[in-house]
A and B are shown apart, each in its own frame.
Chain A
């Protein structure tokens, strides 16, 4: 019988617990993506039998580094040492063979397969070429029980709620013969009780000599479980310290840098009348619970309203609903005091909503089209002469946007893919503006673009607010949202859990409000509350 439970084997030989016993080391890793440098000469030491924590803001390069260690991405330069010997990881399979397992941040499960099939995918136990279903089911049940969960091994993964899917992902990693287990934000979708269980499992793995690399945004959590902390910022390693020597403020300071606010421009502006009113916006989640749990708020003319929250808190669902991309949503919306009856995306655009989506590449741009064609895609109706497109007017409109948003292109006919991330994002914003919207919905507008471009995007937002647009702005970056927003709403588990004016808001308050329903102190009873 193949041994699928390495984690249960005691490994006495790893009892030597020297602090500087490095099992794996990524040395001088640089990774360049088109338009951005994700990692710049980063050295990361992984200590044997410890929980090695990696922190940094979104876009700091954590996930890229993990993908390199797991063989998913190849570094542009630099090398990886395992037990002192250089290794080359060309595929996830290479990493698996060397005993490196990973739990990905984005769930990588086949939703069409059952829990047991997912757990054993590509590691099936067979007898005479036939899958030993009973045995696998038994093992799956054991793993799930070990994680103190009650999940039917025969259930389809697609029918489980996200938290349970995360448990399946963890169970899957535990079937491998791992020496090193990478966990990329494993708790982002878990409840407080589930996090406790996960921590118990991590401690157990540690006691069996398994090395853990752990990534999370929840700083308090890291101090509970971490042994060693490495901080990345904008693709650089900025600090490395034993967890016993650090505090939450230290981590925040290292992650954010000294003077984060200087990048962003925000001027006090007088706010206009109520532009948008949303009441009881609700979106049920497939498989249980709510993506949006009776959300109500108002937006004034010229206001930048920031939405902060953890991954999966419902912020993107909220802007999607407003843009008309979620037909299942219920609730009432008024714009300029008039109820909005429009349901579909194109009707909502007519009504004055426009979304700059989170995933620029897959939802924001049509890659084969030029800069100009992308820009005009949402407003072609405005540039018609009879039934034909009026190229001249199109060109004028595109040129005007390129000037106003200072998009750096040699020629509007240039392929969109030749632009840097920041300039591509500006094209998506320009596309939105050309529809002549009233409410601009920006979902993580600065994600994956460099610091300079971030600053430019923030400048553009300020200008737009000054022109009386209402701006709704979703971001996971604390410094950015604090610096940019006139008012901040914090979401957790689909509900608004905090509201702060620009003056009131602090990083601490936002973090606390975003953890409502996650932390051990609150058991989800604080829904609908405001954190003021």
Chain B
């Protein structure tokens, strides 16, 4: 091998280096996808009922919730930020929506209680979630508060509001009453179209929308630019603050949507709904290859990341692995993914340098 190089047979050398590096690069780049296939194969061997249609639907429903949160989180992380508040916003919105269904809007001054239509409740909830995100974004940009701190604050505040809404109690039986015209909330979680539940449709639609926004619109480009070099983006005329506020609003919107879906699936709103969801969302994004320092990553990667975590969870449960071991395994997989990420980056650099040396 050494001799081949020294005899300066350029074509030979070239071909050899291409095959070697390309295969490795391909494996490393597609690692999330490969990991997904790997876990699917392993689980279908270990548990025969894993690949049944019924189970796949259950799994997809689980994945949908994580994936929806991870969409918003991807936008935030691409700008170099982080959103710790999403799980709490899920809980807060679930409680607000539950309260609107069961108790309506009480206006004691007028002596009336208004029961909004289910559609109205959904719109109010989504708007509130989006505004919460916008508020966090405003604090981050206007007062130059670190995203970690601002969203940590909202993490506590939103969870507190979720508890306050009904003094820590659950809103049960969120079916509404025909005489108030607010029935049908449970359809969001249980209903389906072409045999596929709404939550999965929502995931598909939002994933597609997010994919187009990140890859084909100026806004998406600005998100990447801010994460890559905020100063350069600003000097180029990108409205950095506005872009960031929108990004956190998207995350708030996704959280609200998940809050509604979860409450609807359970037909109940519990103050602790969505606890620690922010961490699974971050895990999905990171597993999907998005860099926590921003500017690098994709929605497609996030989708795969969400699936890996979802499949891992469902599969481990079906195998009867204890929940403690599940945590150990999930955590290890996340860290391993990031280590591979770093190894790949270093390898790429070394390959580039090696090629230069050869050229010299």
User: Which candidate, B59-67, B178-186, B263-271, B348-356, is the interface stretch facing chain A?
Assistant: B348-356
User: Out of B216, B225, B353, which one reaches A121, CB within 8 Å?
Assistant: B225
User: Nearest chain-A residue to B226 (Cβ)?
Assistant: A110
Instruction: Tell me if A172 and B356 are in contact (CB < 8 A).
Output: no
Instruction: Tell me if A92 and B235 are in contact (CB < 8 A).
Output: yes
Instruction: Tell me if A112 and B221 are in contact (CB < 8 A).
Output: no
User: Out of B216, B237, B295, B356, which one reaches A110, CB within 8 Å?
Assistant: B295
User: Which candidate, A126-134, A340-348, A423-431, is the interface stretch facing chain B?
Assistant: A126-134
Instruction: Tell me if A284 and B353 are in contact (CB < 8 A).
Output: yes
User: Nearest chain-A residue to B359 (Cβ)?
Assistant: A288
Q: Does B191 sit within 8 A of A, measured CB to CB? A: no
Instruction: Tell me if A112 and B235 are in contact (CB < 8 A).
Output: no
Q: Does B236 sit within 8 A of A, measured CB to CB? A: yes
Q: Cβ of A172: which chain B residues have Cβ within 8 Å of it?
A: 236
Complex Cα spacing A121 to B216, Å: 13
Instruction: Tell me if B232 and A289 are in contact (CB < 8 A).
Output: no
Given A126-B218, A131-B218, residue A112 in contact with residue B224 (CB < 8 A): yes
Q: Does B229 sit within 8 A of A, measured CB to CB? A: yes
Within 186-238 of B, Cβ neighbours of A (below 8 Å) are at 212, 216-218, 221-222, 224-225, 227-229, 231-238
Instruction: Tell me if A284 and B356 are in contact (CB < 8 A).
Output: yes
Instruction: Tell me if A113 and B221 are in contact (CB < 8 A).
Output: yes
Q: Does A1 sit within 8 A of B, measured CB to CB? A: no
User: Out of A108, A112, A285, A286, which one reaches B296, CB within 8 Å?
Assistant: A112
Interface readout for B280-309 with A: 1 if CB under 8 Å, 0 if not?
000000000000000110000000000000
User: Out of B212, B221, B234, B239, which one reaches A117, CB within 8 Å?
Assistant: B221
User: Nearest chain-B residue to A111 (Cβ)?
Assistant: B228
Interface readout for A79-99 with B: 1 if CB under 8 Å, 0 if not?
000000000000011001000
Instruction: Tell me if B221 and A124 are in contact (CB < 8 A).
Output: yes
Instruction: Tell me if A112 and B217 are in contact (CB < 8 A).
Output: no
- Interface residues of chain B: helix, strand, loop or mixed (majority): helix
Instruction: Tell me if A131 and B232 are in contact (CB < 8 A).
Output: no
Complex Cα spacing A104 to B234, Å: 13
Complex Cα spacing A285 to B349, Å: 10
Q: Cβ of B356: which chain A residues have Cβ within 8 Å of it?
A: 284-285, 288-289
Instruction: Tell me if A110 and B225 are in contact (CB < 8 A).
Output: yes
Within 115-140 of A, Cβ neighbours of B (below 8 Å) are at 117, 121-124, 126, 129-131, 133
User: Nearest chain-B residue to A67 (Cβ)?
Assistant: B235
Instruction: Tell me if A122 and B238 are in contact (CB < 8 A).
Output: yes
Q: Does B357 sit within 8 A of A, measured CB to CB? A: yes
User: Out of B229, B238, B352, which one reaches A287, CB within 8 Å?
Assistant: B352
User: Nearest chain-B residue to A126 (Cβ)?
Assistant: B218
Instruction: Tell me if A122 and B236 are in contact (CB < 8 A).
Output: yes
Q: Cβ of B225: which chain A residues have Cβ within 8 Å of it?
A: 110, 113, 117, 121-122
In the assembled complex, how far is the CB of residue A100 from the closest CB belonging to chain B, in whole angstroms? 12
Complex Cα spacing A178 to B45, Å: 65
In the assembled complex, how far is the CB of residue A230 from the closest CB belonging to chain B, in whole angstroms? 24
Instruction: Tell me if A72 and B235 are in contact (CB < 8 A).
Output: yes
- Interface residues of chain A: helix, strand, loop or mixed (majority): loop
Interface readout for A163-203 with B: 1 if CB under 8 Å, 0 if not?
00000000010000000000000000000000000000000
Q: Cβ of B239: which chain A residues have Cβ within 8 Å of it?
A: 93
Instruction: Tell me if B237 and A92 are in contact (CB < 8 A).
Output: yes
Instruction: Tell me if B217 and A126 are in contact (CB < 8 A).
Output: yes
Q: Cβ of B218: which chain A residues have Cβ within 8 Å of it?
A: 122, 124, 126, 131
Q: Does A328 sit within 8 A of B, measured CB to CB? A: yes
Complex Cα spacing A72 to B216, Å: 29
Q: Cβ of A110: which chain B residues have Cβ within 8 Å of it?
A: 224-225, 228-229, 232-233, 295
Interface readout for B323-360 with A: 1 if CB under 8 Å, 0 if not?
00000000000000000000000000100110011000
Q: Does A109 sit within 8 A of B, measured CB to CB? A: yes
User: Out of A93, A109, A126, A288, which one reaches B232, CB within 8 Å?
Assistant: A109
Instruction: Tell me if B296 and A121 are in contact (CB < 8 A).
Output: no
Within 268-316 of A, Cβ neighbours of B (below 8 Å) are at 284-289
In the assembled complex, how far is the CB of residue A176 from the closest CB belonging to chain B, in whole angstroms? 9
Instruction: Tell me if A121 and B352 are in contact (CB < 8 A).
Output: no
Instruction: Tell me if B221 and A109 are in contact (CB < 8 A).
Output: no
In the assembled complex, how far is the CB of residue B138 from the closest CB belonging to chain A, in whole angstroms? 19
Complex Cα spacing A172 to B234, Å: 14
User: Out of B228, B229, B352, B357, which one reaches A286, CB within 8 Å?
Assistant: B352
In the assembled complex, how far is the CB of residue B360 from the closest CB belonging to chain A, in whole angstroms? 8
Instruction: Tell me if B353 and A104 are in contact (CB < 8 A).
Output: no
User: Nearest chain-B residue to A172 (Cβ)?
Assistant: B236
User: Out of B212, B222, B353, B357, which one reaches A130, CB within 8 Å?
Assistant: B212
Complex Cα spacing A285 to B360, Å: 12
Complex Cα spacing A285 to B353, Å: 8
Complex Cα spacing A517 to B65, Å: 59
Q: Cβ of A287: which chain B residues have Cβ within 8 Å of it?
A: 352
Q: Cβ of B234: which chain A residues have Cβ within 8 Å of it?
A: 92
Given A112-B224, A113-B224, residue A130 in contact with residue B216 (CB < 8 A): yes
Q: Cβ of A284: which chain B residues have Cβ within 8 Å of it?
A: 353, 356-357
In the assembled complex, how far is the CB of residue B231 from the closest CB belonging to chain A, in whole angstroms? 7
Most buried by A among B237, B239, B357: B237
Complex Cα spacing A129 to B215, Å: 12
Complex Cα spacing A112 to B232, Å: 12
Q: Cβ of B224: which chain A residues have Cβ within 8 Å of it?
A: 110, 112-113, 117
Instruction: Tell me if A286 and B353 are in contact (CB < 8 A).
Output: yes
Instruction: Tell me if B233 and A122 are in contact (CB < 8 A).
Output: yes
In the assembled complex, how far is the CB of residue B214 from the closest CB belonging to chain A, in whole angstroms? 11
Complex Cα spacing A328 to B352, Å: 13
User: Nearest chain-B residue to A104 (Cβ)?
Assistant: B235
Q: Cβ of A111: which chain B residues have Cβ within 8 Å of it?
A: 228-229
Given A110-B295, A113-B225, residue A121 in contact with residue B357 (CB < 8 A): no
Complex Cα spacing A126 to B219, Å: 11
Instruction: Tell me if B237 and A112 are in contact (CB < 8 A).
Output: no
Most buried by B among A112, A123, A172: A112
What 7 A-B pairs have minimum CB-CB distances, sorted nearest first? Answer: A112-B228, A110-B228, A122-B237, A124-B218, A108-B232, A112-B295, A121-B236
- Could you show 10 A-B contacts with beta carbons less than 8 Å apart? A108-B232, A110-B233, A112-B229, A113-B225, A121-B232, A122-B237, A122-B238, A131-B217, A286-B353, A287-B352
18 more contacts with CB within 8 A, not counting A108-B231, A112-B295, A117-B224, are A72-B235, A92-B234, A96-B237, A109-B232, A110-B225, A112-B224, A112-B228, A113-B224, A121-B221, A121-B236, A121-B238, A126-B218, A129-B217, A131-B216, A131-B217, A131-B218, A172-B236, A288-B356
Chain A interface (Cβ within 8 Å of chain B)? Answer: 72, 92-93, 96, 104, 108-113, 117, 121-124, 126, 129-131, 133, 172, 284-289, 328
